[in-house]
Structure 1
Amino acid sequence: MRMRSLITTSLVGLSLVVTQASAGAAAGDPLIDKQWGLQQLHAPEAWASSTGAGQTIAVVDTGVDLGHPEFAGKLVPGATFACGGAPAPCGNGDWTGADGVGQEADVHGTHVAGIAAAAAGNGVGGAGVAPDAKIMPIKALENGSGTFEEIGAGVRYAADHGANVINLSLGAQPGIQVLTLLGIQAATKDAIAYARDKGVVVVASAGNETAPLCDTPSWEQGALCVAATDANEMHAIYSNLGVKLNLRAVSAPGGSSLGDCDGDVWSSVPRGMGKPECGQADYDALAGTSMAAPQVAGVAALLGAQGRDAAGIEDALIHTAQTPIAGLRGVYNPVYGYGVVDAAAAVGYQG
């Protein structure tokens, strides 16, 4: 059975002005004033306490452009598990894969990695949520899709090779949760449980079908499900709700997918693959819960750098998340889960 990644690439408009805090923290990043998601997360305020140094975020996805300037000096060894039937691993996590040919859909992993941990203040692009964290590139998808077994193998590799946080911006179609509940398909579910038992935080996207339940793998008990918000902090129209059996769900910026580029999430893409309409060769604006999950993975790395264990990281994320309009913190509702993640509040959370 193929598990495809859910990649929403339509664009939306609403540009916001960067605050003084982020301008100072990431001076020299020309796209920083377009990164409204950092403001929604209150990430710049959190950077005074933690920038994610010493943490590694594994991006189990379509691979990463290993030569992109946003990741210079930030990569740890990765692996490729999308091997077309050949023995795995068959590569180092580069987005072009075993055949060396990059697919358009496979810009996704580089975008996700940049959201989580792009370098700050390096004079190009923008800043990641955890700008001093390392990235472990794991290519488990080719041309935007992969099997449960390939994804599970990528998760296990990350857990065995020093990842502190694993990001899964991918998901199966609604209804596939039944297969994992019944044990018919357990490769990714078991891999997530394995990683969690090793003390790794697993963050996964809710899905983009406007469905009531988190897709698998975000549905699984060991994963934190992330729904998407737009630039107005409203639940994004495409996003699945944050509903799963153990209620471990939050929300984060994912973009609107309605119009021009600045209402979506700006991040790195493989060099030369940026869409002409957004005007950047090595960067692009995409929308989806795929973009929301790495925002949370980045905050998890900020918390891990403070010495918190996996349970402590999840508790801080959940208890400080805030529900828009109502202003409640750490109170579950099916639309936002426990609320929009607040990095500044989370790094100050004492439990």
Structure 2
Amino acid sequence: MRMRTPVTASVIGLALLASQATASAAGGDPLSDKQWGLDQIHAPEAWAHSTGAGEVIAVVDTGVDLGHPDLSGKLVPGATFTCGGGPAPCGNGDWRGPDGVGQETDGHGTHVAGIAAATTGNGTGIAGVAPDAKVMPIKALEAGSGTFDEIGAGIRYAADRGANVINLSLGAAPGTQVLTLLGQQAGAKEAIAYAREKGVVVVASAGNETSPLCDTPAWEAGALCVGATDANRLHAVYSNLGISPDTKAVSAPGGSSLGDCDADVWSAVPRGTGSPECGMPDYDALAGTSMAAPQVAGVAALLGAQGRDADGIEQSLMETAVTPILGTRGLYDPIYGYGVVDALAAVQQPL
């Protein structure tokens, strides 16, 4: 019998615990003044050089609210792989899934997609890191969890249908790395290798267990592991460290998780599902390495739009990242990986 290992969305709670864009585009988004993460990675300044036009970010996650005003105008066709053992795909990537019921935990993918590439300067909600990139919604998690085989199928679908960047804001429990090393859970591992061979950048969240190791699939060869920072640009207390076999790791804003909405990461959620704590029906503030990974995926799209290949994108992300306090660039350490991603420095690096 095939082993079923659950993989869950990498977020600290799904309700809070307790044209050409320019650098001024975020001013047209009412919640942009709460998006400290954009400033931390210097995204608005980077938009003068690239906005991600022509790039597609596949969000392999819990699906997306396809009608959300900050996302609906920039979606490309997606797919659903949570098919209950039936033929897949069995849907279009909508967060509600084949049963038509939206689980609370399945708002996660909408939040992730918004961080990466929400419509920017439209007078609604938030700004995305890559404002002119498209989003491919892939539902591989139901009720916040799924299997390596479902995730692997989603990765392969995205790689075969034009995704330039794949975001994996999900991970299995610490220790599962052993199963992938032994080949007992190869679905996602092999799919990441497949995507990478096709020239796709794969970005994955490190996990939220305060573990020294990146969770799988961020652990796997071909994936860029992303840890989280807080609004003070320091390693978030919950975030796993950036240790993986190939040491391909960086950090990005993920929020504090300590109960303050504005200290976490604001983004879109399925319409009407925003938490009472933060007081917005269509937007919410969450924390986790899930929120850090799409910041990096967005910057990867900015770089891809400049004509860089997957190797060049990863190289730019790591070489220009900044280690907090020390201020060094492109030097690996186990806490921050190669440092906090710097979108402006990355897009300015010579091709």
Query: Normalized against structure 2, the TM-score is what?
Result: 0.96
> 1:120 and 2:120 equivalent?
yes
Matches within 5 A, 1:118-267: 118-267=118-267
Question: Deviations for 1:195-237, whole angstroms, at most 9, x for unmatched residues?
Answer: 0000000000000000000000000010000000000000000
Question: Deviations for 1:126-163, whole angstroms, at most 9, x for unmatched residues?
Answer: 10000100000000000000010000000000000000
Whole-Å separation in 1 of the counterparts to 2:233 and 2:16: 17
Matches within 5 A, 1:39-50: 39-50=39-50
Whole-Å separation in 2 of the counterparts to 1:138 and 1:72: 14
> 1:286 and 2:286 equivalent?
yes
Whole-Å separation in 1 of the counterparts to 2:161 and 2:211: 34
Which amino acid in structure 1 is aligned with residue 145 of structure 2? S
Task: Give secondary structure in 2 for the equivalent of 1:130.
Answer: coil
Partner of 1:110: 110
User: How many residues are paired up?
Assistant: 343
Partner of 1:16: none
Query: Normalized against structure 1, the TM-score is what?
Result: 0.96
Whole-Å separation in 1 of the counterparts to 2:39 and 2:116: 14
Partner of 2:296: 296
Task: Give secondary structure in 2 for the equivalent of 1:100.
Answer: coil
Retained in 1: the 8 A contact 2:214–2:242? yes
Matches within 5 A, 1:312-327: 312-327=312-327
Partner of 1:91: 91
Which amino acid in structure 2 is aligned with residue 120 of structure 1? T
- Structure 1 position 350, deviation (Å): 1.8
- Structure 1 position 27, deviation (Å): 2.5
Question: Deviations for 1:65-101, whole angstroms, at most 9, x for unmatched residues?
Answer: 0000011320000000011111110000000000000
Whole-Å separation in 1 of the counterparts to 2:193 and 2:277: 41
Retained in 2: the 8 A contact 1:57–1:163? yes
- Structure 1 position 276, deviation (Å): 1.1
Query: Percent of aligned positions with the same letter in both sequences?
Result: 76
Task: Give secondary structure in 1 for the equivalent of 2:87.
Answer: coil
Partner of 1:3: 7
Which deviates further from its counterpart, 71-80 or 91-100? 71-80
Which amino acid in structure 2 is aligned with residue 7 of structure 1? V
Task: Give secondary structure in 2 for the equivalent of 1:60.
Answer: strand
Whole-Å separation in 2 of the counterparts to 1:87 and 1:349: 45
Retained in 1: the 8 A contact 2:9–2:108? no
Question: Deviations for 1:238-275, whole angstroms, at most 9, x for unmatched residues?
Answer: 00000001100000000000021000000000000000
Matches within 5 A, 1:264-283: 264-283=264-283
- Structure 1 position 26, deviation (Å): 1.8
Whole-Å separation in 2 of the counterparts to 1:152 and 1:230: 30
Unaligned runs of 5+ in 2: none
Task: Give secondary structure in 2 for the equivalent of 1:70.
Answer: coil
Which amino acid in structure 2 is aligned with residue 302 of structure 1? L
Which amino acid in structure 2 is aligned with residue 199 of structure 1? G
Whole-Å separation in 1 of the counterparts to 2:17 and 2:147: 31
- Structure 1 position 5, deviation (Å): 2.0
Which amino acid in structure 1 is aligned with residue 318 of structure 2? I
Task: Give secondary structure in 1 for the equivalent of 2:227.
Answer: strand
Which amino acid in structure 2 is aligned with residue 95 of structure 1? W
Task: Give secondary structure in 1 for the equivalent of 2:53.
Answer: coil
Retained in 1: the 8 A contact 2:319–2:330? yes
Question: Deviations for 1:149-180, whole angstroms, at most 9, x for unmatched residues?
Answer: 00000000000000000000000000000111
Gap change, CA 1:12 and 1:330, over 3 Å in 2: farther
Partner of 1:310: 310
CA RMSD, aligned part only?
Answer: 1.2
Partner of 2:349: 349
- Structure 1 position 25, deviation (Å): 2.3
Whole-Å separation in 2 of the counterparts to 1:67 and 1:44: 26
Task: Give secondary structure in 2 for the equivalent of 1:69.
Answer: coil
- Structure 1 position 7, deviation (Å): 2.2
Partner of 2:60: 60
Which deviates further from its counterpart, 82-91 or 235-244? 82-91
Which amino acid in structure 2 is aligned with residue 181 of structure 1? L
Whole-Å separation in 1 of the counterparts to 2:72 and 2:272: 17
- Structure 1 position 6, deviation (Å): 2.5
Unaligned runs of 5+ in 1: 14-20
Whole-Å separation in 2 of the counterparts to 1:72 and 1:135: 9
Task: Give secondary structure in 2 for the equivalent of 1:250.
Answer: strand
- Structure 1 position 11, deviation (Å): 4.1
Whole-Å separation in 2 of the counterparts to 1:336 and 1:349: 21
Retained in 2: the 8 A contact 1:196–1:202? yes
Task: Give secondary structure in 2 for the equivalent of 1:123.
Answer: coil
